[in-house]
Amino acid sequence: MKGCKSVSNVVPSLITALVVLWLSMGVCRSQLSTNFYANSCPGVFRVVRRQLLCAFENDTRMAASLLRLHFHDCFVNGCDGSVLLDGSNSEKLAGPNRNSARGFDVIDTIKTAVENACNATVSCADVLTIAARDSVYLSGGPYWSVLLGRRDGLVANQTGANNLPSPFDSIDTIIGKFAAVGLNTTDVVSLSGGHTIGRARCVTFSGRLYDFSEDSSVDPTLDPSMAAELQVLCPQSGGDGNATAPLDRNSTYAFDNHYFKNLVEQKGLLSSDQGLFSSDEGEAATKALVQAYSNSSSLFFRDFVNSMIKMGNISPLTASAGEIRRNCRVVN
């Protein structure tokens, strides 16, 4: 990687206050805290930030990839770094991750730098959590104080990873999968807003472009001009299913509420995204919140932070459970 830049540690007070509020309400009941490494590894945030800036210089898309990696980690076995493990049962080989999940090499680089600073102290799960937060912040999104103290899991769960929320799922199915890990409908919509950065492969949305139904060759909830452009990128035959399109049209790498503005204009890329606003299930459960977020970036940022804190607290391993992996790809 290229040489790294030094950075200042800026912590906006409003978002930090939200974390304090969550703690006072008793939402985070596990043994996690915002100052977990204050004595054992006080420089961990600076080390992670420096490596991330290097990674983003080389690959602008990496911020979205690391945010997605954290999401996929927490939804399977809880936030225990299991998505990072190699092996025959690796979650990397599950359908939602195979040829799709990215950023493992960046996490390796960050972990090496953290180990050099504080040997056998900071878990891979916490490294990924910090990296996801900084990926949002460095893309123009909100900052929040992350709860830390997770330990790393000893096993992967490929079966669980094959049941991650999917772009092909109905809105009710997605809501059900979120509820299974303790998240609600507001979390569904706010965390979907993470699609304000990143890209998706043709194979995840080409079903909206051709032979959609008996009544319409193209998904009628997809803007016609956008559909025509996507058909050029993703031809019905002979194309590359791995070609990518931005999830947030015209605001690909900025973390903002433009994603929700696109949904209102029928310019959501994935069926599961547009369904939040345009499907019958979305009409009943999620449309109003999409509309609200499209009108207020501050409301979206507030709810997104709250939902990230909740997601980061899904079944963490603490105390003597699990281990602190030295290499995120293998157990010690």
Return the biggest CA–CA distance within the chain: 64
pLDDT at residue 13 tops 80? no
Each residue of 22-44: b (16+ CB within 10 Å) or e?
bbeeeebebebebebbeeebeeb
Report the percentage of the chain scoring pLDDT > 70.
Answer: 91
pLDDT at residue 127 tops 60? yes
Other beta carbons within 10 angstroms of residue 168's beta carbon come to 12
Angle at 203 between CA 139 and CA 106, to 5 degrees: 40
State the average pLDDT over residues 258-273. 98
Q: Is 72 a catalytic residue?
A: yes
pLDDT at residue 5 tops 60? no
State the average pLDDT over residues 227-235. 96
Lowest mean pLDDT among 21-25, 65-69, 104-108, 161-165: 21-25
Return the pLDDT at 240.
77
The pLDDT tens digits for 210-223 are 999 988 999 999 99
Residue 198 host element (H or E)? none
- Considering only residues 17 and 273, tell me which one the structure prediction assigns the higher pLDDT: 273
What token pair was written down for 145?
């104080």
pTM: 0.90
Return the pLDDT at 75.
98
The pLDDT tens digits for 306-332 are 999 999 999 999 999 999 999 999 999
Q: What is the mean pLDDT of the chain?
A: 92
The pLDDT tens digits for 84-104 are 999 999 999 999 999 899 999
Other beta carbons within 10 angstroms of residue 6's beta carbon come to 8
